[in-house]
Amino acid sequence: MEFIGFTYVTNFLENTLKEAMFEVVDEANRLLRDWDLGVRFLYLDSLTLEPGYLISVKTPEETVRLYPLEVLIDFLDYRLKVEMEKDNGFVMNKILGLISFPLASRNPYLDFYESFLGFETERLGRKIMVLSMKPFESDALKMALRALESPHVDEDVKRLARRVLSRELETFKMRLLKGILHEVGHAFGLEHCSGYCVMNSPGTMALWDTRPAFFCGSCMKKLRESLTFSFEPRKL
């Protein structure tokens, strides 16, 4: 059995979405088990980043405060190295970090930020994955959460917000589940697929909603082969 370390950044994460996030990771593990794939997510702990790392990014709509990709990669890589050095018998050289703010990286040549939904990189055999949950939040979900958190909203509006939240939260969870499965595929060498498959990368969130939460036959075969030949990560 191989494990993917799972952690999340606490900054900007609302409790409702945190609970939904853990439910989705549990569902991902259930699917991996049902598919008889020898990989599972293993929760490590959460990460809280210091305010000093925050940057401001101007978008056409607003100025967004976030933590840059480079900082996230460094923290996740360090967390994975610490886990690998424990020698606790787990086969693990991959980590997935979930964040609740936009993912952006400073372009070293031009003065602007490039946005990403998810990102993967490798350092000395350690694979680091970051996935932003922010794009999976619908406008209706954001408005419902704001209404429920506000002390100035009357009870009738909050009742409506709870009904909206119940519906929109399920959409959020399904989008996130597919995002996590997509990253699992990339972690074990799968490329994007043109079939009815979670590896079929969409151009819009509406298209993402049409993608299934499973791998097509061809991608599943490649994933099984990759897991079969996956080697135990070296100790640092």
For residue range 48-80, list pLDDT tens digits in order.
Answer: 999 888 888 777 777 878 888 899 999 999 999
Residue 210 makes CB contacts below 8 A (sequence gap 6+) with 202
| Residues above pLDDT 70, as percent of the chain | 92
229-to-72, 110, 152, 226 alpha-carbon distances in Å: 29, 41, 57, 5
Does any domain span residue 176?
yes
Does any domain span residue 233?
no
Residue 191 has pLDDT above 60, yes or no: yes
Residue with tokens 């922010």: 134
Domain count, the chain: 1
Domain that holds residue 12: 2-228
Per-residue pLDDT at 106: 65
Does any domain span residue 140?
yes
Residue with tokens 């079929």: 200
CA 4/CA 7 separation, integer angstroms? 10
Does any domain span residue 235?
no
Does any domain span residue 192?
yes
CATH number for the domain harbouring residue 171: 3.40.390.10
Does any domain span residue 129?
yes
Segment 146-171 shows an average pLDDT of: 89
Does any domain span residue 234?
no
Residue 111 has pLDDT above 90, yes or no: no
